Structure 1
Amino acid sequence: MAVKQKVVERVDPSNDARLQIILRALQDITARDGLQEKMCAHIVISLGTVPVPTDESSYMKFISDIRSVQAILAKECSNQKQVFAALKALYDEISNPNKQLSPAMSIVLQLIDENDIPNAVKYILNTGYPEQNLERALHTLCNWLTKWIWTDNLGPLVLEFMRGLELEQHYDILMEVTYAHIEALFKLLILPKSRKGVGPVVLHMLTRVQHSPQVFHKIIPQLSNICKQLSNQKTESSQTYLQAIVNLCIALMEHFPGYTNLYEPLNKVLEPYCPNSDYKQSLRCQSWSDSTNSVIPNRYSIGKVGLNNLGNTCYMNSVLQALFMTKTFRNEVLLHNKDMTPLFSKLQVLFALLQHSRKFSLSPSDILNLSRPPGFLLGHQHDSSEFLGYLLDILHEQEKNITPSDNTDVAGAVAISVTQTVVQQSFGGRTITVSRCGECATKSERADNFRELQLSFPNHSDNQSVQTLLDYYLQPEKLSGDNQYHCDICGRLTDGERITRIVEAPPRLILTLKHFRYDPASQQRTKLLQRVKLDRQVHLDKYQYELYAAVVHCGSSVDSGHYYTYAKDEEDWYKFNDCSVIKTTSDELCKLKPPETPYILFYARQDVTEPVSLPCTVLSNKLQLVLTKDLSEYNDEKRRQPLRVYNNRQDRNDEPPPPGCGGGGFATPAGEYVCVLMNC
């Protein structure tokens, strides 16, 4: 033990020559007493503190010393207990979230024969580390892989580590690490010395992320240089990886369609190269999202947050997600810094969390408590259109009460009070309704603000589209029978005509398709189970609008069934179904058939620029504190997750020795043999 204390005292973390000190101490130990298990562990830990020099002369001396240390360890760690101590120390260190470790530590991996690396990974998984420690270990190994070429086993270990995590469906860990390191690893493909270890890891990452284009899109800016460099090298290795990249990029562009701005330059880069006939073969593997047993709470896989159903509250959740995906409205809410009512303040918090939280889903209980319309009973299903109208009305009225209004004339009509609230700025439009007496031709006009147009179906409503329903809404209406017009000039009810004109088109147009009608026989609101052609674009007055969100109702009655939302962000479409959010396409929305019917449609005016999502840094201090607290809760939840138990040995103190010393089993301190595969 005196020798151990000597090493501890002499290895000063601030000393650039610490590796030489370790080497001399190691030589001294082996010459006198031989290398014991505890000293193996201590040497490994000390290697983790050794900085890698940056100048060339010091670096080459450093590598020479590293190889000397590696040679001594390989010679002295001749039994299973010594290898066990060294590897356990390595695993403990790299999984520690509070340590930044030198890649020199990785030379310990050379104690394992490459064929035994799968068993080494089984060992680390069978040791019972929490998920956050496994994630930290993989982060550390990938970081080393970007900086270190002197450990041949490092690349194969990273690849096998990822495969081991796949078997246990740790897809959240794999996505976190891939997203963090894919760019740095991909750049190293041009270096022959790095390619052997890095190449298989990069290809594995890119082929397994088939549920989200984000990882693929991160490497696109590097592809031109990578392909050019590999092509110019003319070696067997460079040409093999060049062909693999060409095949994979073409397959991924087909797998993630619709990114024209990204793919047009990429196609020019790939134009000189020909893909193999079976170029799609690389994607015929299990994606990291292919789990039928669990839902993976991962922001990087989808990038969107769900909302918990609080008891038949899908009518509310679907509307909130559609409003959140309206960026003009979302940004105005987030940047609002004036006096706010409790409802507006809670909506601001919810939008900040929906944009920046790492949680899988959130509880909108505050919004429910503050915006539940009169007559809406807790636990009962209600109409999402009624909720949307009430929510926008109450937000507008509450803000209007603390905001001065302007009086504006609309095309010569009577002056009406206009308050440019957040709701009005995003969804507000104006109409003039002109009524004409059929007897004396006198006209009367009424100006109205609107935030939603409710589109009825004509009596003969086969083969209707959204555009035809919108045109029908704006057609002249005959006023006769029970719906006669009262003329102030004639002084009585007369036949007449009414027409509505749009005089101010809203930046974002909300259209509700009135699928529900009152049935006098049953005295209930029934649903019209008919299909409507869902136009991706419509025109209103002189403006063109493009569909970006739709609340869908599934069921045969307004008071039953289920609501969910489709919405677009950039080029991607998402399906928000309470706490679940998945990637989808606009084609899926357009192909819906009754009883699944689009109910509330959201269109963006094409001459109004779509704003970008706000970064966290521009939000108020109050919201940043909310996000900080939310992140802390997320991290606490991850830490509180129960340990994954990979075998039935967790209650024993005699941990199984690690693999890597040859043979299929290893002697335990009790003299028994444990099968390495744990399933024999």
Structure 2
Amino acid sequence: MAVKKHQLVADKSNQPDLAALAQYFQLMNDQSQCLPPLQEMIKQCHNIIQCLARTAGTADQLWHLLQPVEHFLLRCVNSVYNNVRHEVFRTILDKFYSYISDPESNACPATAAVLIIIDDSDEDEIMSSTRLLVEQTENGPAGPRFHAALSCLYRWLHDWHCTPTLGFWILAYIKALEESAHHDILIEASQDYLVSLLSCLALQIPIHQATANVIFHVLASLRESVEAFDRISSMVGEVLVHLASDNGQWSRQLLQDLVDILTVMVERITCCLKEDAQEMFRNKYADVILCLERHMASNASKYLNLPAWRSRNAVSSGNNLDTQKVGLINIGNTCYMNSVIQALLYTRQFSSYVVAKSLNTPYWETLGTLFAHMIFSMSSKIDPERFFRHLRPVDFSADSQHDSSEFLGYLLELFRSYENATLVNHDYSRPPVLNGGPRNRLLQPGASDEQQTESGDSRRSTSPCPGSSGSDSSALKRPYDVDPSALPPRKRFRVQEPTRRGSAIDSIFGGVQLTRVQCGSCQSSSFSRDLFRDLQLAFPEKPEGKQHSVQSLLDYYFSKESLCGDNKYQCRECGDLRDAERSVVIENTPKYLILVLKHFKVDVKNLKQTKLMHYVHYNQTISLPTVPNQATSAAYTVYAAVIHKGRTIDSGHYYTLVKDNGEWFSCNDCSVKKVEENALNKLQRPSTPYILFYRRLDIEEPPAPTFEQLPRNLRMEISATNKIYVEAVRKLRSD
């Protein structure tokens, strides 16, 4: 950088001043057909930039001198052939960028005059030029140069008003940095100049649309930043008064956009703060909030559709807010539902999809609304009663506690059955019609049902896993209490797809098992495919002292099994019962893998089921055995676990451990608190993980939806609920 600085100083000493350049280019412009050769033209453009970079003065003072210079620049890019024009255009912007991105240079605002060459109607050209500059900068020490360029542009936006295309180029540069995910630089530089940017709205000179676009884009992108709000809080009232004093249509539009953005800024910040911090925030900025309340926010500003900037180092920098974790009140033996809902909320692909669909898909509305309240509620806990009225299985009594695994299976199958519904007004009061269990046999084209063989292997049970939840006095209704002969036969489907077409449930949670049975006599094989949404893992009989792990239970589940004795295989080729070998692999891996650990066994002597207290190592990562050439990853990482706390399967309590942004939290009904990284493996008996949730390693978690992405009526509902909560807290504290 020292060499570059020396070159800049040398350039300044050898260049004429702006007055001399203006006189020279006025003579050239008078000869309309005369332009220098390409290399000479480029050199003269460079001389202009170098001269402007050291020229002091306001736009009004320099206007007459800049006119012939700007006219010459326009002739250079508009009066030559396209290929030459592109070269001239690129070299001008390259030289211009070398000045504004040099941390050791201090280019004057007059340099912005060279942006006259930009055609503000050609957004593609502006974006492509800025993208290229960003890409070239990333090859070196990008951080300081990006910060220097953005800081320089922000200074000019306040001080220089005679080049409207300056705003267009700044916005394009911001978008290029956004595309490259340089949010930390955008946040840091923008917060440094936020006061200067906002003050542009209070200047006596007319503000360009391009300038307003930059200001509101930056404000809306920083709407989750407490520091940004703090920096501008002292001048918000002044700017609002200035804009309100002008009855012109343009000033009214500026005022409305500003009120909308700042109102959402207050809502988003308070939504993300804990109870005490919320009250402190509102007390500290009471005057600003009162100013905003005097104007009616419409929540219709186009800038609120922009994604918020979020720092990669949000926790340490304190610039952005971590969303508050919200608990669910236990409304009477509902821990089995609370625990499952918490795990599904942090299954981000699922919860984000449900919230997005709640706008126009009636059957997603109840669950989507519940998720939205859990994300944006200002309270640390919410009452889920009105949601659970519709989500509770029809045969689950409201005053009894049930099994969380059964509830999860029911919930996923319930929404799977609704996915092909065409009802405009969905009626939750009507009993649901389910499509069948979570596993469905997928037949190969042309294969008969007789060719598909099922084994009674207890390791691969397809029935719901009996479990426990609730109080000591609650007895559970279990599937094994029903006579198996009275159950309808399993529904089967002839399909060629690995998962059912159009099903979001199956695309997120569904996988396909491939089962092979090989005859020990003729070596012929039969194959069957099963769609699954969970794997239920039994414990093998192992010698004393040998440790179980999730991976070892998976290995046991997929280990080869001998079919012999009373469990011989009916071979189609041999036409008789034969010894055979059965093996299972995964043909299609699910995005999210649900594992149910069968912590129970049958006490034959007393004819009852008891809970197993085996110690299990809960692997952070696991892998599944797959068919050769499997297209997707078979490795998974854990992100949630439903825990059963109790010594018997007929009593106890459910809660959930979840991982969010690299940190683990315990969601125990209405209480949510941070826990240690290895909390899953430090549980003390009788607490045992019952349902484990794993995410495939190649799956990228989408961010939680922003408040502005919610349907308007849902935003209003949540805002109203939060307002009631805040007033209740104020009243309680005043009493």
Between 1 and 2, higher relative CO (CA 8 Å, sep ≥ 6) is seen in 1
Q: TM-score, normalised by structure 1?
A: 0.50
Q: TM-score, normalised by structure 2?
A: 0.46
